Amino acid sequence: MDLISFVIALVAFALVAPFLGGLIKGADRIITARIQDRVGPPLLQPFYDVQKLWAKQSKPVNDFIGFYVLMSLIFAILAGAFFFAGGNFLMVVFVLTLSALFFVLAAFSARSPYADAGASREIIQVAAYEPLVILMAVAFYLASHSFNISVSATLEKPLICEIPLIFLALLFVLTIKLRKSPFDLSVATEAHQELVKGAITEFSGRTLALYEVMEWYESVLFLGWVGLFFVFSAGWSWFLALGCVIVVYFLEIMIDNNFARVKWQAMFKWSWLVTLVLGFINLFALYWI
């Protein structure tokens, strides 16, 4: 990946990803409403919400919250740019982890009991899914003999054929990364949560708008990880990847609406169990067979 391709990917991701992410969020709300026998908001409602938040005056409890959220957003954009530019997978993982750490700092800096509890749970969630993400990067290297994501487009067969168990494990932790039930522990997106708004309790105005936009960027990036498993040298594989991404996200919506929230202990235990069993079995088979 040269500098020019990275800059192009950075600009393209920064401009296109929030548009796609907002549409994904809007479609999510509509499907959820239909499942619950409601009409639901219009497709563009997430954009209206962010526009309204941006027009409001922020009332942060200190001067650091906005800075930390902005840095979290910037690193999320950089991670997406590295990924869609075909850069190093490990670099994507490390930059995205920095984004998560700045988000945790923003929540802790609020000094609110609800935000503190949400930030603590966010750290637990990172510890729950991060091992699988690292294993996925290692499996990608063993399957493609490179950490460069662009190599996937030159493979003779898709990664799903080489690392299917890693893909199944990714589907499990994807629910954590998308903050959907039963693993929506750190940030409350529905009225049934006991943490008010969890880690974002003290976010308001433009700070909250930046967080919403950051979630759009992350959604596009994580769904890009799903599509990576289905892209190979055949041109039609891009359409296959897009179709699988749509199916996977619809599955996430169904899980979100049909499963009750679990305790963080169960989330941590299950995610590590899935990672150790599926991840290491697939790595062992890939390395020795």
Residue-wise pLDDT tens digits, 219-253: 999 999 999 999 999 989 999 999 999 999 999 99
The confidence score (pLDDT) of residue 198 equals: 77
Q: What is the helix (H) or strand (E) element at residue 97, kind and residue range?
A: helix 89-109
Nearest CA-CA partner of 110 in 241, 222, 170, 200: 200
Check whether 193 has a pLDDT greater than 60: no
pLDDT at position 223: 95
Please compute the mean of the pLDDT values over residues 15-20 and round it to a whole number.
94
Contact (Cβ atoms closer than 8 angstroms) between residue 274 and residue 172: yes
Question: By C-alpha distance, which of 176, 175, 163, 177 is closest to 280?
Answer: 163
pLDDT at position 209? 92
Give how many domains the chain has, as a whole number. 1
Does the global pTM surpass 0.75? yes
Tens of pLDDT along 257-269?
A: 888 888 888 999 9
Residue 286 main-chain phi, psi, to 5 deg: -70, -35
Domain that holds residue 42: 3-288
Is the model more confident about 255 or about 115? 255
Q: What is the pLDDT of residue 78?
A: 94
Q: What is the mean pLDDT of the chain?
A: 88
Tell me the longest C-alpha to C-alpha distance in the chain.
60
